[in-house]
Chains A and B, each alone.
Chain A
Amino acid sequence: MGGDLRLTAITKRFGAIAANDNINLTVREGSIHGLLGENGAGKSTLMNILSGLYQPDSGEISLAGEQIQIESPADAIRHGIGMIHQHFMLVKQLTVVENIILGQSKQSGLNKAASRLRLNLKEQSDAIAQLGKTYGLEVPPMALVSTLPVGIQQRVEILKVLCRQARILILDEPTAVLSPTEIQSFLTVLKQLAARNHTIIFISHKLDEIMDVCSEVTILRRGQVVASVPTNRTNRAELAQLMVDRAVEINTQSSPQPVGDVVLDIRDLWVNAEHRQVAALRGLSLQIRAGEIFGIAGVDGNGQRELADAIAHLLPIQKGTIEIISPASTKTKPKSVAYIPEDRQKQGLILSFSIARNLVLKAFSKLPFCRRWILDNKKITAHAKQAIDAFDIRASSPLLKAGQLSGGNQQKIILARELAGEPALIIAMQPTRGLDIGATAAVQQSLRSQRAKGAAILYISTELEDVMAMSDRLGVIYRGQLVDVLDPNAATLERIGLLMAGQSSSSSPQNYPSETLQESANEPAGKPA
């Protein structure tokens, strides 16, 4: 096992679309190889082929010069290829140790002497704790996976493939679900793994991370390889351009707007976390005016979700008030609130519905989409066609199911639906999470144009640069309270980082990453996307 991994002329089609078109790729043993591309560029498809979930229509895979066939995930494991999927492949109802030893009765697992039938949970959990220590991936072996925070779940995924003696680790957008501090420790783990001569394929569209850990990077665009370059001979701007095939302006600073009346007025808001009697918001107050983007920065799990859900009436308020004042609201045109939820696949869309139907989820019962209790499919489709053009949703037909689109296009459907009818207030929860540069720019542009039309926008993101670029005012949330409200143009990353970690003064800047990490580890499990 081991050796260089080589893909030759891999092609995979889904219907008429070539998700992978004649792909050639060489990954050297012991290196961290970046795979960069927009959503829908074919990264995940290629990796699903490597891990045995999909079969390529044509092409060859060879490992250490020898041609191999990967017909099932079990085959991939036999060849030492382990995949860490973007959506974790964990059985949440089982414990960590059960997840790790699942399916290992036939492979040489942790303990080769272990009986093929009996599970030996105690012995195995000791071995896992040991292995975790070796790689800096500590996990509680007997805990149920559903009770663990996302960062720890990811460690379980990595341990799972390491236990299977994987020499080649494929990580599909591993940092998309992590908080900034979790990302730091995760990247350290990656470097450690590479130092132990593990080969790592790192799929991402975050240029910084690619430049930080990878020695070589391959860029995919529309199913094809456009370039393969060592990272020390390129830079962020070049990679970004290769990826999207058009010059992209990174971190567009927002232009200040004249602001209007208060639209959202929150006073002393107390909200409990869902299904628990623990206060997630503890006396939070804020005002947002028309024509203003108010950003919320903070480590995941400090009350952001509860804030958005409380405003959208998805969670009951324990104490305090939320007032939405819309100057334009009359009886005929009620004040409207747009909600862009965090989990676009579960809360934002009905994946098995067509794009057209998803677009009218809020308005299907009214004219013009419905007349005398009968849906007017022609109007609905025509409306979808308009939205597809206006929001640049890449889909061949409005009748395609929402679940068939990439993340960026799914988000555009939500935007098209929510931003229709010029809402007075927009709540955007992690609207660019997991999106590539092109889609991120499109989302940000739509929101900015709503601001220009006088909408008040609450912009919540755990990605600092994202929220700084968007906000006119920036609030930092920590343990359910706004610890400070800053001018993003004047504030430094360091200062905000400290506030996010709960330190109001800049005493010891070196301290905060480890402390916030512990903090987030104690928080309840976030939902992995």
Chain B
Amino acid sequence: MTPIDFISDFLSACLRLSVPLAFAALGGLISERSGVLNIGLEGMILTGAFAGAATAIALDQVWPAVGVALVAGAMVGLLHAYLCVSLGVNQLVSGLAINLTAAGLTTYGARLLFETGTVALPAIAPLNIPGFQQLPIVGVFFQQDPLFYLLLLLLPLTTYALFHTHWGLSLRAVGNAPRAADTAGVSVSRVRYCSVIFCGGLCGLAGAYLTLVHVGFFTENMSAGKGFIALAALIFGRWHPVATTLACLLFGTTEALQLRIQAYGLDIPYQLLAMLPYLTALAALAGLAGKATPPAALGIPYTKEKQ
């Protein structure tokens, strides 16, 4: 293997490991910017992954599976929004409940559907961009699957929408001072519902990416903490889309690195290596302590009439 091949290979692994994180983190960012704490990212990813896998097997087609994953994630988002916005339930508890329920239900579903253990799924084919894909190293960026390109598109779109449109302004206002936004004529509950559902949808895509692009099959609890890493990434990225995506890349790279080190068979217990991405997340957050300010109304349910 030439060094160039090695680098390309490594880079490609970094991207593959970062993409699901980035989808979930962008979703979480929108949800949290609107003031709804979302630790349910994990459960939403898992739901998307399972729904995608099940549909892919049933229809033997990938794109409907991606669509179903998106909708399934969005439905979980709707549930979270209903609990947090309409009922004013504690948002931590709601997120936790979603994670536990999703883990239980998908495990049950997986045992029903995939009796034989893991079943290989149809995979989304990479979309090679002619002319660029042969380039050394950077060519890796041009031989990815359509979901990767979608993420690339989503990133500037979200950034623009967040800071340069009325929609984004309402979102930021609702997340910081819901009562002020309400008196200005912005419907707090509508903004929050939309944001959390959107977040669920993106997490669904993250799940679909896991099963249909990255791994190729569904296993129990395959999200393996990705939702929480995404949460760490969005805090580390200070609730800014670009910084958050870069943070995802950092965590994805750490994961790729530890897999490489494992593959080399060095005399390090693999459990220690497997900890690496989580340790990085921990270190990143500790370094940021006191510097990142979350949206002011994050986690606080909004009620209209309060004396």
Instruction: Check A404 against B185 for contact (C-beta < 8 Å).
Output: no
Instruction: Check A102 against B181 for contact (C-beta < 8 Å).
Output: yes
Complexed CA–CA distance, A118 and B187 (Å): 19
Complexed CA–CA distance, A107 and B170 (Å): 14
User: Is chain B's binding surface mostly helix, strand, loop or mixed?
Assistant: helix
Chain B neighbourhood of A118, CB < 8 A:
164-166
Q: Considering the complex of A and B, which 10 residue pairs feature the smallest CB-CB distances, nearest first?
A: A74-B185, A103-B184, A105-B166, A103-B185, A89-B180, A103-B186, A91-B177, A89-B183, A102-B184, A73-B183
Instruction: Check A117 against B167 for contact (C-beta < 8 Å).
Output: yes
A-B contact pairs, 6 of them (CB 8 A): A91-B172, A92-B176, A98-B172, A99-B173, A105-B166, A106-B185
Chain A neighbourhood of B182, CB < 8 A:
53, 73
Instruction: Check A54 against B184 for contact (C-beta < 8 Å).
Output: no
Q: Does B89 contact A (CB under 8 A)?
A: no
CB distance from A38 to the nearest CB of B (A): 17
Chain B neighbourhood of A74, CB < 8 A:
185, 187
Query: Contact residues of B with A, CB < 8 Å?
Result: 164-167, 169-170, 172-173, 176-177, 179-187, 295-296, 304-305, 307
Chain A neighbourhood of B170, CB < 8 A:
102-103
Complexed CA–CA distance, A106 and B164 (Å): 16
Known pairs A98-B172, A99-B173, A160-B184 / 6 extra A-B pairs, C-beta < 8 Å: A91-B173, A91-B177, A93-B172, A93-B296, A98-B169, A102-B184
Complexed CA–CA distance, A101 and B186 (Å): 11
Chain B neighbourhood of A92, CB < 8 A:
176-177, 296
Q: A98-B169, A116-B166 are in contact. Are A89 and B184 (CB under 8 A)?
A: yes
Choose among A83, A102, A164 the residue that contacts B173 (Cβ–Cβ < 8 A).
A102
Chain B neighbourhood of A403, CB < 8 A:
307
Choose among A54, A88, A94, A107 the residue that contacts B172 (Cβ–Cβ < 8 A).
A94
Instruction: Check A53 against B177 for contact (C-beta < 8 Å).
Output: no
Chain A neighbourhood of B172, CB < 8 A:
91, 93-94, 98
Chain A positions 72-121 with a Cβ under 8 Å from a chain B Cβ = 72-74, 77, 83, 85, 88-94, 98-99, 101-107, 116-119, 121
Complexed CA–CA distance, A101 and B170 (Å): 10
Choose among B166, B187, B304 the residue that contacts A119 (Cβ–Cβ < 8 A).
B166
Chain B neighbourhood of A53, CB < 8 A:
182-183, 304-305
Across the interface, name the chain A residue whose C-beta is closest to B304: A53
Instruction: Check B181 against A103 for contact (C-beta < 8 Å).
Output: yes
A394-429 to B contact mask, C-beta < 8 Å, 1/0: 000000000110000000000000000000000000
Q: Does A51 contact B (CB under 8 A)?
A: yes
Complexed CA–CA distance, A121 and B182 (Å): 21
Instruction: Check B176 against A91 for contact (C-beta < 8 Å).
Output: yes
Complexed CA–CA distance, A88 and B164 (Å): 24
Across the interface, name the chain A residue whose C-beta is closest to B165: A117
Instruction: Check B185 against A91 for contact (C-beta < 8 Å).
Output: no
Complexed CA–CA distance, A98 and B187 (Å): 17
CB distance from B34 to the nearest CB of A (A): 13
CB distance from B292 to the nearest CB of A (A): 13
Chain A neighbourhood of B187, CB < 8 A:
72, 74
Complexed CA–CA distance, A94 and B184 (Å): 14
CB distance from A58 to the nearest CB of B (A): 16
Across the interface, name the chain A residue whose C-beta is closest to B297: A91
Instruction: Check A91 against B166 for contact (C-beta < 8 Å).
Output: no
CB distance from A258 to the nearest CB of B (A): 46
Instruction: Check A51 against B183 for contact (C-beta < 8 Å).
Output: yes
CB distance from A318 to the nearest CB of B (A): 23
Q: A53-B304, A91-B177 are in contact. Are A107 and B185 (CB under 8 A)?
A: yes
CB distance from B66 to the nearest CB of A (A): 27
A1-21 to B contact mask, C-beta < 8 Å, 1/0: 000000000000010000000
Chain A neighbourhood of B181, CB < 8 A:
91, 102-103
Chain A neighbourhood of B186, CB < 8 A:
102-103
Chain A neighbourhood of B305, CB < 8 A:
53-54
Complexed CA–CA distance, A107 and B248 (Å): 39
Instruction: Check A117 against B176 for contact (C-beta < 8 Å).
Output: no
Chain A neighbourhood of B304, CB < 8 A:
53
Instruction: Check B179 against A89 for contact (C-beta < 8 Å).
Output: yes
Across the interface, name the chain B residue whose C-beta is closest to A98: B169
Chain B neighbourhood of A83, CB < 8 A:
183
Complexed CA–CA distance, A53 and B179 (Å): 9
Complexed CA–CA distance, A313 and B166 (Å): 45
* Most-contacted residue by chain B among A83, A99, A164, A403 (CB, 10 A): A99
CB distance from A397 to the nearest CB of B (A): 15
Complexed CA–CA distance, A72 and B164 (Å): 26
Chain B neighbourhood of A89, CB < 8 A:
177, 179-180, 183-184
CB distance from B237 to the nearest CB of A (A): 17
Chain B neighbourhood of A88, CB < 8 A:
180
Instruction: Check A94 against B179 for contact (C-beta < 8 Å).
Output: no
Chain A neighbourhood of B167, CB < 8 A:
105, 117
Chain A neighbourhood of B307, CB < 8 A:
14, 403-404
Complexed CA–CA distance, A129 and B225 (Å): 50
Across the interface, name the chain B residue whose C-beta is closest to A12: B305
Across the interface, name the chain B residue whose C-beta is closest to A90: B180
CB distance from A489 to the nearest CB of B (A): 42
Complexed CA–CA distance, A81 and B167 (Å): 24
Complexed CA–CA distance, A404 and B179 (Å): 18
CB distance from B294 to the nearest CB of A (A): 11
Complexed CA–CA distance, A85 and B185 (Å): 14
Complexed CA–CA distance, A360 and B283 (Å): 42
Instruction: Check B164 against A119 for contact (C-beta < 8 Å).
Output: yes
Complexed CA–CA distance, A103 and B180 (Å): 10
